[in-house]
Amino acid sequence: MVVVSTPDSVLVVGASAAGLSTAEALRRQGYRGRLTILGAEEHLPYDRPPLSKQVLSGVWEPQQAQLRPRAALDALDAELILGDPAVGLDVAARTVRTASGRSLRADAVVIATGLRARTLPGQDGLAGVHTLRGLDDAQSLRKDLLAASRAVVVGDGVLGSEIAATARSMGLDVTLAGPQHAPMAMQLGPFAAELLSDLHAENGVRLRLGASVAALETAGGRTTGVRLETGEVLPAEVVVVAFGAAPVTDWLDGSGLRLENGVVCDACCRAADGIWAVGDVARWHHDGLGTMLRLENRTNATEQAAAVAANILGEDRPYVPVPYFWTDQFDAKIQVHGVLPTNAEVDIVDGATADRRFVALYRQAGRTVGVLGWNMPKQTRLRRSELDTNAIATPTGGTS
């Protein structure tokens, strides 16, 4: 018989969705011990999906992206340490060192440090060039967009496509550049990515797809646009670099933890004895899929947090979610449950593509492995039950 002891103290490193959700899940599941949340930023915990949409467009005040009101955070009975990034972890002693010199020890340490945006060479210190990861980034980008007439978004994934849609909706002349044949082709597969491509084109976004960006164009310390590998120059006052993000694990270098495209964990999201990882930074073994997986999406942050909290409290249950993500671009709300393999058979089961309102099932070898909804959220949820969760196979690595 395995005797499980509940920890007397838990330290969560990271104060965004995954970190805060872990703290909340611990309390919800009955944990009454000491709880500390350490955040790198000064802001109270905030949500990231609205940054590229409501916050960037100005529909929301930045404070509306806050995850919980102050009173709810106080009710958590956790020590919230903000504006102090973690800089090191002693795995055996379960002690985290911070930039300001704190040394925080706990019986269980949860790593929830998320992602950092990738950048282009020569980007640092160049005016007019932005990445979008945090609240400050969103406000700074918004300020520049309001003063500009032309923007180029480098990156055709979820974030790049959303930023292009938002910037276009703000009235800018927008070019979306990236290596794929259609926006979000990797996440949506050819069928839906083509529809998204049409949507962007109809709304006046210039698409320069299938060509990589060679370099930033500059003059006097400012960007003046980007040059593609084809030689074409796309002039702009604002360039947004959105071609992916990397797990924030540099502070764990030399800790002895396995770091390979994230913090490597077992099926229960445990990186070492008493050390756990959750959210965008965690790469764990999905027993259902039989593969290592790291998910960069909002719902995973919450679901994995609940699983990790339960496992910290002794449950020892493998985390086997059905991946889910959504994106909002122009008038389209696109929701995806499961996976959308390139070679899957696509069957429209509700609505019609011509109406831009439909649900599609993705089948592989006769089994339903994915559900994609386009402006039909309720119907999409109802179709989710048709997924054959045993048949979902997905490539290793991140989805967004």
Partner 1 sequence: MKVTIDQDKCVASGQCVTAALDVFDQRDEDGIVVLLDANPPAHLADDVRQAAAVCPALAIIIEE
Using CB under 8 A as the binding criterion, the count of chain residues that bind partner 1 stands at: 25
State which of positions 325-354 bind partner 1 (CB under 8 A).
Answer: 326, 328, 333, 335
Contact flag: residue 298 with partner 1 (CB under 8 A): yes
Q: Between residues 310 and 393, which has the closer beta carbon with respect to partner 1?
A: 310
Contact flag: residue 378 with partner 1 (CB under 8 A): yes
Contact flag: residue 51 with partner 1 (CB under 8 A): no
Contact status, residue 36 vs residue 81, Cβ threshold 8 Å: yes
Contact flag: residue 21 with partner 1 (CB under 8 A): yes
- Residue from 58, 314, 377, 395 touching partner 1 (CB under 8 A): that is 377
Q: Residue 51 and residue 163: Cα distance in Å, rounded?
A: 9
- Residue from 11, 13, 19, 24 touching partner 1 (CB under 8 A): that is 24
Query: Which tokens belong to 140?
Result: 């700074």
Q: Between residues 251 and 325, which has the closer beta carbon with respect to partner 1?
A: 325
Contact flag: residue 162 with partner 1 (CB under 8 A): no
In angstroms, the Cα distances linking 358 to 20, 375, 377 are 35, 7, 9
Contacts of residue 314, Cβ cutoff 8 Å, sequence gap at least 6: 4, 5, 6
Nearest distance, CB of residue 377 and partner 1, angstroms: 2
Stretch that binds partner 1, among 61-69, 90-98, 117-125, 146-154 (CB under 8 A): 61-69
Contact flag: residue 356 with partner 1 (CB under 8 A): no
Q: Residue 109 and residue 214: Cα distance in Å, rounded?
A: 41
Q: Which of 118, 176, 135, 91 is nearest to 296 (CA)?
A: 118
Contact flag: residue 306 with partner 1 (CB under 8 A): yes
Contact flag: residue 395 with partner 1 (CB under 8 A): no
- Residue from 49, 128, 189, 274 touching partner 1 (CB under 8 A): that is 49
Beta sheet of 86-90, edge-to-edge order:
86-90, 95-98, 103-105
Contact flag: residue 302 with partner 1 (CB under 8 A): yes
Q: Between residues 225 and 370, which has the closer beta carbon with respect to partner 1?
A: 370
Phi, psi of 21 (to 5 degrees): -60, -35
Q: Which of 361, 331, 358 is nearest to 346 (CA)?
A: 361
Instruction: Label residue 87 exposed, middle or buried (CB < 10 Å: 0-12, 13-18, 19+).
Output: middle
Judged by phi (left if over 0) then psi (alpha if -120 to 50, else beta), residue 77 lies in left
Q: Residue 293 and residue 261: Cα distance in Å, rounded?
A: 10
Stretch that binds partner 1, among 32-40, 76-84, 199-207, 370-378 (CB under 8 A): 370-378
Contact flag: residue 39 with partner 1 (CB under 8 A): no
Q: Between residues 197 and 380, which has the closer beta carbon with respect to partner 1?
A: 380
Please, what is the angle between helix 298-312 and helix 17-28, to 10°? 40
Q: Between residues 249 and 304, which has the closer beta carbon with respect to partner 1?
A: 304
Q: Between residues 80 and 207, which has the closer beta carbon with respect to partner 1?
A: 80
Nearest distance, CB of residue 28 and partner 1, angstroms: 6
Phi, psi of 205 (to 5 degrees): -80, 130
Contact status, residue 162 vs residue 327, Cβ threshold 8 Å: yes
State which of positions 139-158 bind partner 1 (CB under 8 A).
Answer: none
Contact flag: residue 376 with partner 1 (CB under 8 A): yes
The identity of residue 264, as a single letter, is V
- Tell me which residues touch partner 1 (CB under 8 A): 21, 24-25, 28, 47, 49, 64, 67-68, 298-299, 302-303, 306, 324, 326, 328, 333, 335, 375-378, 380-381
